[in-house]
Structure 1
Amino acid sequence: MDVVPYLALISALAALGLAGYYYKLVEKESPGDERMVFLMTEIQKGAKAFLHAEYKWVGAFAAVLAVILAVVIAPLAAVTYLLGAVLSAGAGYAGMTVATMANARTTEAAKSGPGKALPVAFRGGAVMGFSVAGLALGGLMLTYLVFVTWLEVDDAFEIVTAYGLGASTIALFSRVGGGIYTKAADVGADLVGKVEAGIPEDDPRNPATIADNVGDNVGDVAGMGADLFESYAGSIIAPISLVAFAGGLAASDAGLDGNINLLVFPMLIAFIGMIASIIGSFFVKGGDSTEGHALARALHMGTNVAMAITAVGTVGAAFWLFSDSDLFDQPIGLAISVIGGLIVGWALGKCAEFYTSDHFSPVKKIAEQTETGPATTVLSGISTGMVSVAASVVLILIGVGVAYWGGQLAFLDEADGFGGIYGIAVAAIGMLATTGVVVSVDAYGPIADNAGGIAEMAELDPSVREVTDALDSLGNTTAAVAKGFAVGSAALTALALFKSFEFALLAEGEVLDLNVGQVETFIGLFIGAGLPFLFAALTIDAVGRAAYKMIEEVRRQFREIPGLREGEPGVIPDSARCVAISTDASLKEMVIPGALAVVVPLVVGFISVDALGGLLAGALVTGFALAIFMANSGGAWDNAKKYIEAGHHGGKGGDPHKAAVVGDTVGDPFKDTSGPAMNILLKVMTIVSLVFASAFV
């Protein structure tokens, strides 16, 4: 079984090789005329400037936390923490670089129809997808091999877990900072441009348009990439840390009593999923239709193929590792857990698609409500998001039940419930085993969005914008699908990490008391239940304050630059000023929400571990529900607006369209700032608690 980490490492290198191959394919495509190249370059410059500034701020925070880790836990934990942070940042930067290169190329390809444009956008997204998956898995396997297999250092698994904390730190700040940036620009551009000035989306007269397109890349590409990097790495770390802390294993003990098989099983699933994702990516081919179902079928083909290969491979892996051991009764049980996670992740995505796609009744009902104004539009979107929570909770409970049953089935004596918890932990890696292709499909969305913006700003033929709008509408749905995977895996991963935290305390002689009748636990439960709401409020307020500055600047330019609003030749807006406003505001606003996720569990943990246990439990439940609610409400409002812009309910410019723009504006921070960051909040708090467990005691 010693070969499994090496296989996983090789598959990670293969993923990075594929990312390089897709990069070359995208680079070969034509970026279009001089105006398109200029716009692409402006977006690139703005995105790079923001990421450089953001990484300086986050780097300072990471350096402080690394010092604390070195002093309180172990110097090597600081090393792996920084490795996870650097690789996560690197994946986001690589994805953003190719996304800002693929946007104009997708626009140019759209001149030849969706059959040419969809593969270009997907390949741009695939560079992101396989960079994220390859760097996350490669870095983790290298960490495991160095500290567990080769050096056999003391507290090896604490050191491995610190890698996940590094990834989580970058993910949290990237999601919050990038989300504030993109939504401040988006809200400012929409409210002043569409509603007040009555000009189209992405119109070159709008000073906030470039900032809006930059935001798509720093929030929905770099931020999303760091998010899925952290989710993927965390889902592999969770079952490894569970086995290690439950057994009290040192690195040199990892082969005792078949435990090595339990340690390497998630790595083997990651290997299978990576190979399946690589194969699946070649099945994404564009057709000639701009019809949504045809485009969705073409785009999801890669994911479906990857899932099928992973499911078959998982059965073989379970029997290979566990059929000859006296500890295990029916190895198929662990395969059931993983495949159950895979199917539930897919079902959560489909649930999100149902509530956010304009092909289904929820979005069409929101569009109908725009006939009576913004208030009913907002109310309809809120209720749609809330209903989607109920459906998602049912799905996640089915997933937990199946995974627990499968884990119990696999172990000979059911291991006092450990088998069930292990089954839940590996179900999370099942959800994210195909991360490479899932992120590829997700990152396709902002590229298609940017392509539409460039088509409008370059004043290309309306037929080009029709193609990019069809691709963009699908991109909103694929983003909601990926968020379903991420939030679902967050719930399962957080549960496994929570159990690891309990075992880590037990190893230090501390028994965690989760009795709600115990006052410390009860207090912690309410702190945890309230924390996601506070986090959401802070991030939404941050978007509101940043958007206010953007709105005032756009109004000023329309007021003070003669001929700008009228579109007179040679009159251009000061886009750089809007980019600077979004950059400065987002960097300042991300600090408090980001620090909250690390500081609160540390403070509570040093006061009472029972209160911390209650906090983690309360935050997990409310955070999961809030994340689903906000992501799906926001996605539904956005696609209701696009549904109207496609010609329904009076089309662009009418009162229903203005009401839909208001709904979309309310939903912007929901779906792209607060909602996506919520699942990272859950895992950051849990993994901070796990890493510092020994210090709390």
Structure 2
Amino acid sequence: MNYFYLVPIASIAALLCAFYFFRSLMKKDEGTPKMKTIAGFIREGAMSYLKQQYKVVIIVFIILSLIFVTMSFFGLQNKWVPFAFLTGGFFSGLAGFFGMKTATYASARTANAVQKSLNSGLRIAFRSGAVMGLVVVGLALLDISLWYLILDFFVDNADHGHKLIMITTTMLTFGMGASTQALFARVGGGIYTKAADVGADLVGKVETGIPEDDPRNPATIADNVGDNVGDVAGMGADLYESYCGSILSTAALGASAFALNPTMQENAVFAPMLIAAIGVFLSILGIYLVKTKEDATVKQLMDSLNRGVNISALFIAIFTFGILYILGFSNWIGLSFSVITGLLAGIIIGQGTEYFTSSSHKPAIEIANSAKTGPATVIISGLGTGFISTVIPVLSIVVAILIAYLSAIRFDVANMLTAENVSMGLYGIAIAAVGMLSTLGITLATDAYGPIADNAGGIAEMSGLDPEVRRRTDMLDSLGNTTAATGKGFAIGSAALTGLALLASYVEEIRVALLRVNDNVLEFADGHTVDVAKASFVDFMNYYQVTLMNPKVLAGIFLGSMMVFLFCGLTMNAVGRTARNMVEEVRYQFREFKGILTGEDTPDYARCVSISTKGAQREMLFPSLLAVTVPIVTGLIMGVSGVMGLLAGGLGTGFVMAIFMANSGGAWDNAKKYIEMGNLGGKGSHAHKAAVVGDTVGDPFKDTSGPSLNILIKLMSMVSIVMAGLTVAWSLL
């Protein structure tokens, strides 16, 4: 128990460090009066949108909480779940709010600092992004610590082993609150930002020929607001629930795998929390290591960021051996290699994403070259690159799953599917997900840095700063596109491992649900019985006939795969409809107010902000609620085996689709940036206009549908876990 207190200490350290970085940021000069005014418009628009989004989300949370209270009343749910659900959603939203608030204060200060030097701008943007990373891990570990202490005090069970199972499965359910909030943030923010971006680019760059972020463009403020609500608030909420989900699913699997050994059971529950806690301190170290020289190239800037991430990862790998040895695991070396496997998989996915999306590498340059023959070849080339880019992440995850599993069972291949080895192997996979996310404090900083740099470039353009300033912010922005794509790949990769761990945790929740309704024995077709409290994963798989020969499992797999495509279609069309309204509004203002293009009239920015806000609020509801209702309906009709198929199908298809969409979108974006740096004719050329079309197609790929899929994967799992009591109590088939 004494080891546990390192977790709340790490959470407080992360939050204090984030506060220090924020205070340091606020002491920096925001620039000229015009820069301050523009930054104020962006900040006001971002906060206004977030306020509207939270109003909608609160209504949804109240309805779902009432459902959970009703289930608790009828004995189908733990009485703590409604409260855990609310705190998960609250902390997830709070993480996004703090991150976005920091980003909106950082952009103008970054633009102003770049006037002095490139390194000064990088430090401000990155340290501001670090506020998001540290707030996410700090709030997550604080939430986990508080709930563990609360439940350990109140949950009364004579059997200590069963008590820890009850605690960890209850804590796991607050992930549904985090996932629900994250999905609304990602979908709503993604629709907002991409509708504004597409409208600004198609009318401004392609039709009118004015520069990006030109103050004459009515959609430019909405575009910059969108960078914050989608790529900062949305990403923060997204990775908050990934981080919590990986830690809590590992804790739940550890409680089950070591149920017969009370001392090791407690240590298995604490292990993922302690690895994450040490990762916080190492992330802070890595943040301080990020710096560059003044005449740095984009590649050198990327190397600077990678240095901080890689050193943090190296040290967490070393510390993991010590943590698991001190906790007394007999196979501490094997489990340590499981953690390292997750770390390496995350790094490889990040490097693969960088290769396929960076303007410094061949794939994005090839897409740029294809722009010489028009938009059609840009689209074809980008799609092809996106499809091919899935190979490295998928192979990385496949190898990581196998090595993490085998390492945890001491490479006992001959007996890898025995009951004991399955439990340990799944714990190994789950702790690999913790390893991948252990340095989230710095990896998320590199991601949140991107939209801050993008906004800095917009403010520099709108404020009329020296062209050299815009050139420097473009370098930071190009790097930000790559780090954002890398961050999305990292988030999706972690979702795959976390989703697999949650799939195993669902089985553990089924056990708890059966015991809650006093169904204490599994009775098999051949007449033999097994006590539910002592049943293994293999017993549950056999009892519910979770095999590929079961039509309910097959039907569930197809439904899960279909959900991925349906969700992408709904969110893509949502962006399309809102973007269409934005395009019509920008055209209307240019047509009716001729003085806008000559600089004599000021565009009506507020109308474009309003279009994006209303469109996002309206369009985000149906796809988000669909992700909640489909697992429930599947469970009510096809039972546990149907739900297992649904989750497996959604996990496999969703992972590959998310990688494809994120990478193709990132490659299109950086192909455009490559041309804007003066290649192939530069800005305004035929190739540039073709690349802008590709970028507008890629925008909803990489910033709306793609990143939302990794939340969809986990939310369906979380909903299934929370609704397990209803599923085991009643199903049609």
TM over 0.5: same fold? Answer: yes
Q: Give aligned pairs, total.
A: 684
Paired letter, 2:612 = S
Shift of 1:243: 2.9
d(CA) in 2 for partners of 1:151, 1:519: 39
Paired letter, 1:232 = Y
1:172 maps onto 2:176 in alignment: no
1:306 maps onto 2:315 in alignment: no
Shift of 1:411: 9.5
8 Å contact 2:102–2:131 — kept in the other structure? yes
Q: Which residue of 2 aligns with 1:360?
A: 361
8 Å contact 1:245–1:504 — kept in the other structure? no
Shift of 1:278: 1.3
8 Å contact 1:490–1:682 — kept in the other structure? yes
Superposition map of 1:101-180 within 5 A = 101-148=105-152, 151-152=155-156, 155-180=166-191
Q: Which residue of 1 aligns with 2:604?
A: 574
d(CA) in 1 for partners of 2:148, 2:175: 12
Q: Which residue of 2 aligns with 1:375?
A: 376
Paired letter, 2:306 = H
8 Å contact 2:257–2:424 — kept in the other structure? no
Match among 268, 275, 278 for residue 274 of structure 2 = 268
Q: Which residue of 1 aligns with 2:2?
A: 3
Match among 433, 439, 455 for residue 450 of structure 1 = 455
d(CA) in 2 for partners of 1:400, 1:410: 13
Paired letter, 2:669 = D
| Post-superposition CA distance 1:197-232 (Å, at most 9, x none) | 100000000000000000000000000100010111
8 Å contact 1:157–1:241 — kept in the other structure? yes
d(CA) in 2 for partners of 1:648, 1:235: 43
1:625 maps onto 2:656 in alignment: yes
d(CA) in 1 for partners of 2:362, 2:423: 43
State the secondary structure of the residue aligned to 1:460: coil
d(CA) in 1 for partners of 2:202, 2:594: 21
8 Å contact 2:173–2:721 — kept in the other structure? no
Residue identity (%): 50
Shift of 1:376: 0.7
TM-score by length of structure 1 reads 0.96
Paired letter, 1:359 = S
| Post-superposition CA distance 1:368-411 (Å, at most 9, x none) | 11011111100100010100112211111111111111111199
Superposition map of 1:476-487 within 5 A = 476-487=481-492
RMSD: 1.6
State the secondary structure of the residue aligned to 2:596: coil
State the secondary structure of the residue aligned to 2:465: coil
Shift of 1:290: 4.1
Segments of structure 1 that go 5 or more residues without pairing to the other structure are none
8 Å contact 1:246–1:504 — kept in the other structure? no
Superposition map of 1:11-22 within 5 A = 11-22=10-21
Match among 249, 254, 277 for residue 238 of structure 1 = 249
Change in Cα spacing, 1:151 to 1:504, as seen in structure 2 (3 Å) is closer
Superposition map of 1:273-672 within 5 A = 273-323=279-329, 328=330, 330-409=331-410, 415-506=420-511, 508=514, 509=522, 511-568=543-600, 571-608=601-638, 609-672=640-703
TM-score by length of structure 2 reads 0.91
| Post-superposition CA distance 1:472-514 (Å, at most 9, x none) | 0000111111112211111111111111212333552463322
d(CA) in 2 for partners of 1:159, 1:70: 14
8 Å contact 2:168–2:248 — kept in the other structure? no
8 Å contact 1:337–1:423 — kept in the other structure? yes
8 Å contact 2:155–2:167 — kept in the other structure? no
Paired letter, 2:310 = N
Following superposition, which runs of at least 4 residues in structure 1 exceed 6 angstroms of deviation? 410-414
Shift of 1:71: 2.1
| Post-superposition CA distance 1:265-290 (Å, at most 9, x none) | 10111111111111111111232024
Range with greater deviation from structure 2 (144-153 or 536-545): 144-153
Paired letter, 1:242 = L
d(CA) in 1 for partners of 2:254, 2:132: 31
Change in Cα spacing, 1:111 to 1:674, as seen in structure 2 (3 Å) is same
State the secondary structure of the residue aligned to 2:116: coil
d(CA) in 1 for partners of 2:379, 2:442: 34
d(CA) in 2 for partners of 1:484, 1:388: 11
Shift of 1:5: 2.5
Shift of 1:65: 1.2
Q: Which residue of 2 aligns with 1:97?
A: 101
d(CA) in 1 for partners of 2:307, 2:70: 49
Shift of 1:257: 5.6
Shift of 1:322: 2.4
8 Å contact 1:148–1:157 — kept in the other structure? no
8 Å contact 2:106–2:128 — kept in the other structure? yes
Shift of 1:166: 1.0
Paired letter, 1:574 = D
8 Å contact 1:83–1:163 — kept in the other structure? yes
Paired letter, 2:485 = A
8 Å contact 1:158–1:691 — kept in the other structure? no
State the secondary structure of the residue aligned to 1:459: coil
Shift of 1:158: 3.2
8 Å contact 1:178–1:218 — kept in the other structure? yes
Q: Which residue of 2 aligns with 1:223?
A: 234
d(CA) in 2 for partners of 1:49, 1:503: 42
Shift of 1:613: 1.1
